[in-house]
Structure 1
Amino acid sequence: MKKTALLLALAVLSIFIIVACSNGETKKEEVLDEDESIEAVADKANDIKDEENPVSQTSLPIPQSFKESVDYGYTGEWAMKEFSNEVKSALDQLPSITMEATEEEIDAYERDIFSLFKENLSMPNVPIDQWQAMKFADPTVTDEESQLKKNYNVAILLDASGSMGALENGKTRMELAKEAINQFVDSLPEKAKVSLTVYGHKGTGDEADKEVSCSTVEEVYSLSAYDSKEFTNALGKFNPAGWTPMTKAVEQAMVNLESHDGSENTNIIYLVSDGIETCGGNPVQAMEKLSDSNLSPVVQIIGYQVNNDGLTQLKEMARAANGQFINVQNQEDLKAEFKRTTEMAEVWSEWHRNSNDAINNLNKTVQKQLNDWHQKEQEKMNRERKNLQLAINYLNEENKIDTDVFLRLDENYRAYYLQVDKEARNLYLELDQLNRESFLDNWEEISEIFLKNVSE
C-alpha cells in the first residue's frame, strides 16, 4: 500500500515537473485586428502553453557525459533561475521519500528532481563550419585569390506564426526578432547578399484558416545586396498570425537558392522559430534534402524561447542538416548568435583584400568565440549544480528526504557535475591549445574535432 501511494505521488511529481512542456502549438492565436492590442495577442500566445498536454519526463536518465547532457532534450522548469522562495514553495509540494522505498522509486525521485533544474547545455558554438563552407582549398596553398568563394549569401527563414506575438519586455517576440535581424543584415559586409522568407503570417490560428496559413510561404526580400530602406519595408509587411508551415518554408528556401551552387557560393541559412511544425509536414526530412542539395548549406537553427517539444524537433532538424541548433531566451541572445556569423563574414570579406590579416582575424575570432562558449557553459553548469545542492539541502531540512537519500542524491549529482564539467573543460582546452599553438597547421584537426562534436 505504501509503495502504491509513493508511486502515485511520483506520478503527480512528474506532472508538476513538466508543466512548462507542450506537445506543440495545438491551438493558435488569431491575427491582430485593428481593435486588438499587442498585449491581447501576447496574452493569447502565452496561454497556448497552459492549454497543452504535458508529457512525462521521468524516463530520462541522468546524463553520464557532457554530450549526453547536451542531448538531454529537456530544459527544467527552474533552469536559468536562481534558487528562491518560489522554488521552495514548489518543493514543498513534493512527496517524502526514505531509503525504505524501492530502488525504482528512489531512482525516479532522483531523476525528477534533476529534471527540475536541468540547464540547456550546448556544444562549442563556434561557426567553424562556416569557414569550411567558405573555402575552396587548404588556406596554406599559394593561390590566394581562389581560396575563398567569391559569393556569400545569407538566407533567413522567419517564423511568423501566432505564438511569435508573445511579449518579452513590453515587445512581441516578432518585434524583437525583426530588430535583431535588421541589425544583423546591416552589419554584414557590403558584398554579401541577403534574403528574408516568412511563414505562418497568413490567416489566423483558427482551423478554418489552416489551409491558407499552411500553404503560404513568402520571400519578402529576394536574395540581393542589403538595402536599408527596402529591407525595413519588407520587415513591415507581416505580423504574427497563423500556423507553422516550417517544412514548406525549408522546401521553398531550397527552390529560391537552387541557382546558387555550393561550389561557388557560401550559403548560410538561418531558421528562426519559437515552436514546432503544425501543418503536418516533416521538417526533419526537409532538412535532410536541403543538406544533400547542391547548395552545400551551412544551417543555423535558432529556437526562440521554445518549449521542450520544440527543442526536440529543432535539434533533430539541425542534426539532419549537419547544422547547429542554438536555443536563445531573449533578444540579446539572438543578437549574440547573429554576431558570430557577422564576424565570420568579415573574415570572408577581408580575405579578398589581405589574406594574412584575414587568417589572423579568423584565429582571434575562433579564440574569442571559444572563450565565450566555455564561459557561458560554465555559468550554466555551476548554476545547475548550485540549485540541485540547495534543493536537496532544503528537502532534507524539511524532512522530505532522509539523510541516506540525501547522501545518495548528493553523491550522484556531484558525480554528474564533475564529469560534465571535466569533459567540457577538456574539449575547450583541446581546441584552445590547437588554436593557440599553430592555427594553420592544426586547422584540419580543429575542424574535425568541432564538426564531430556538433554532428554526433
Structure 2
Amino acid sequence: MKRIHYQYVAMIVACLMMLEACSEKQKPEPEVESEGSIPDEETKAAADEQIPVAARTLEEMISQPAGQLIEAHMDPEVEAARLVDWVYYHRFYEDTFQGIMEDELPAYFEEHTDLNADEVYDYLVYQLGSGQYATFYDQLSSYTHGYVMPELPEGEDEIEIAKRQKTNVVILMDASGSMKAEIGGESRMALAKQAIEDFTGQLSDDVNVSLFAYGHKGAGTEADKQLSCSSIEEVYPLGAYEAGSFQKAMDSFGASGWTPLAGAMETAHEYLSSYDKEHYRNIVYIVSDGVETCDGDPVAAAKKLHDSDIEAKVNIIGFDVDDEGQNELKTVAEAGGGEYATVRNPSEFEGVLIKKWKPSMMQVMGQQGVMLHDLVHQKEALIAIHEPLKNISDRETTRINDAVYLLKNKELIEDELANEVLELSKEMGELRSVHFNELKEQKSEEAKQARDEIDAKVEAWKEKWYAELEKDE
C-alpha cells in the first residue's frame, strides 16, 4: 500500500508539470513594432477613406463641391471665363493645370487597380469637378427680363379732375445741400424752382397752392443736423397763385442742409388736417433729389397722410435721382396713394407736372414700346449668365476626358474601361447642357412674350390717341 501511495503522488506531480508547460506555450508573443510600420488606428483610417460618389442627377451636380485639384489650383474666374476671354482659361489649363493632373492623378490608380467605370468617374469628379454650378444656375433661374410698361396717359390731368372739388395743392420742396449739384451748368435747385413756377402759373384761380421748403437751414454738417432736420417752413401760404408773391417765396430759400422728408409730410398732414375729403381734394407734390437723411420714416408718414380723413395723395417727382433713391422714393409714393416719376431736366419735369395725363401729338408719335437698347441689354444680360454656366460644364467634361486619356496612355486603365468612363462623362455633360439651354430658352421666351405684350399695348394706345388728337384738330 505504501508503494502504491508514492506512485499516485508521482503521477499527480508529473501531470501538473505538463499543464504548466502547455500554458507557457499558449501565451502570445509580445508584439514588436517594426521600424516604419503604420499604427493600427492610422491604417484603419486610411482603409476607411472613401471617395464620394459623384453626382448622377442634375440637382446633385448643381450643388456639387469643387474638385480637390480645382479648389487648390484654379481661380473660379479663370474657370468660368467667357468666350471673349477664352484664352485665360485655356492658357492656364494647357500651360499649368494639365501638368498638375499628370503629377497628381496617376498615384491613386497605381494603388487601386481593380476599379470599375463608376469608381473611376467618381474619383475624377472628386478631383476635377466644378463647384460653381449653383452660383450661375441660381442667377439663371431667377433672371427677369426687366422690361417695364411705359406710362401711357389715358385721360384728364389730375388737376383737371380735381377741379370738380375745391383743390388744395401743397408743394414740398427739397432744399437739402445736394440740390446744389449742377445739370447742364445750372443747379438742380434753380431748374426745379423754374419748373415749379411754370406749373403753378398754369393752375386755375380756384385751385389753392402752398409751398413749403424743407432742409434749407444749416450747412449740412453733423453739428447742424438737428437745425436742418427741424427746418420745415411754409414760404407761400395756401391760397390762389399770385406770380409776384410766389416768385418772392421761391427766392427766399436756397439749397443748404439735410433731408427731413418724413418730417415734411408730417407737417403737410397737420397743415391740411382741417380740409376733409368730402369738400376738398388734397394733393401733395414732393420735389426731391434724394432720400431721407434725418432718421425719419417717410413710408410711414406717407401712408398716414393718405389713410387719414383728408385722404391726401402723395406724388413724388425725383429730380436727377440715383437708382437707390428712386427705389425708396417710389415706395414712399406708393404708400401715399400717389405716383413716382423721375426727371433729369426741366422739360421732363414739365411733362410730369403739366402734361402727364394728356399727351401731345409729339408725345404720341414718340412713344415706343420696348426700346432697341433695352432689347440688346436683355439679351446680353441673359448670355452673360448662361455662357459661364455652359463653359464650366463643358470644361469639366473636357478635364475628365483628358484625365481618362492620360490614365489610358499610362496603361493605368484598360481601353474598354476608359471608353465606359468617357461615355459616362459625356452623358453627365449632356444632361447639364440640355437643361441649361432649355432654361435659357425659357427665359428668352418669357422676355419675348413681355416685349410683344408691351409693344402691342403701346401700338393700341397710339392708334387711340392719334384718332383723339386728329379729332381735336
Question: TM class by shorter-chain length?
Answer: 0.5 to 0.7
Partner in structure 2 of residue 326 of structure 1: 341
CA distance in 2, matches of 1:408, 1:3: 29
How big is the shift at 1:322? 1.7
CA contact (8 A) 1:96 1:401 kept: no
From 433, 437, 447, the equivalent of 1:417 is 447
Matches within 5 A, 1:51-90: none
Structure 1 unmatched ranges of 5 or more: 14-90, 136-147, 344-364, 438-456
Q: Match of 2:281, SS?
A: strand
Aligned in 2, Cα 1:396/1:106: closer, same or farther, shift over 3 Å?
A: closer
How big is the shift at 1:105? 2.5
Matches within 5 A, 1:149-164: 149=165, 151-164=166-179
From 295, 299, 306, the equivalent of 2:314 is 299
**Are 1:208 and 2:223 counterparts?**
yes
Which structure has the greater CA radius of gyration? 2
How big is the shift at 1:181? 0.6
CA distance in 2, matches of 1:339, 1:132: 10
Partner in structure 2 of residue 134 of structure 1: 162
Aligned in 2, Cα 1:231/1:107: closer, same or farther, shift over 3 Å?
A: farther
Q: Quote the RMSD (CA, aligned, Å).
A: 4.6
Structure 2 unmatched ranges of 5 or more: 1-65, 91-128, 395-432, 468-473
If asked which structure has higher relative contact order (CA below 8 Å, sep 6+), I would say 1
**Are 1:385 and 2:375 counterparts?**
yes
Q: Match of 2:234, SS?
A: strand
CA distance in 2, matches of 1:271, 1:125: 21
How big is the shift at 1:107? 3.5
Q: Percent identity?
A: 32
Partner in structure 1 of residue 325 of structure 2: 310
Partner in structure 2 of residue 442 of structure 1: none
Aligned in 2, Cα 1:131/1:169: closer, same or farther, shift over 3 Å?
A: closer
CA distance in 2, matches of 1:4, 1:183: 66
Query: For residue 162 of structure 2, what is the amino acid of its counterpart?
Result: M
Query: For residue 386 of structure 1, what is the amino acid of its counterpart?
Result: V
Aligned in 2, Cα 1:129/1:393: closer, same or farther, shift over 3 Å?
A: same
CA distance in 1, matches of 2:455, 2:295: 41
How big is the shift at 1:308? 2.9
Aligned in 2, Cα 1:391/1:258: closer, same or farther, shift over 3 Å?
A: closer
TM-score (norm 2): 0.55
**Are 1:199 and 2:214 counterparts?**
yes
How big is the shift at 1:256? 1.7
Matches within 5 A, 1:271-290: 271-290=286-305
Query: For residue 420 of structure 1, what is the amino acid of its counterpart?
Result: A
When you count helix as a share of all residues, which structure comes out higher?
2
Could you give the per-residue CA deviations for residues 80-119 of structure 1, whole angstroms, max 9, x where no partner exists?
xxxxxxxxxxx98xx989x96743222366599x79x957
**Are 1:245 and 2:260 counterparts?**
yes
**Are 1:177 and 2:207 counterparts?**
no
How big is the shift at 1:130? 3.6
Aligned in 2, Cα 1:239/1:428: closer, same or farther, shift over 3 Å?
A: same
State the number of aligned residues.
318
CA contact (8 A) 1:388 1:413 kept: no
CA contact (8 A) 2:149 2:369 kept: no
CA distance in 2, matches of 1:332, 1:107: 43
From 101, 107, 113, the equivalent of 2:137 is 107
Q: Match of 1:153, SS?
A: strand
Query: For residue 175 of structure 1, what is the amino acid of its counterpart?
Result: A
Query: For residue 450 of structure 2, what is the amino acid of its counterpart?
Result: V
Could you give the per-residue CA deviations for residues 286-345 of structure 1, whole angstroms, max 9, x where no partner exists?
11110112222232111222223322221221221121111223322211101136x6xx
Query: For residue 374 of structure 2, what is the amino acid of its counterpart?
Result: E
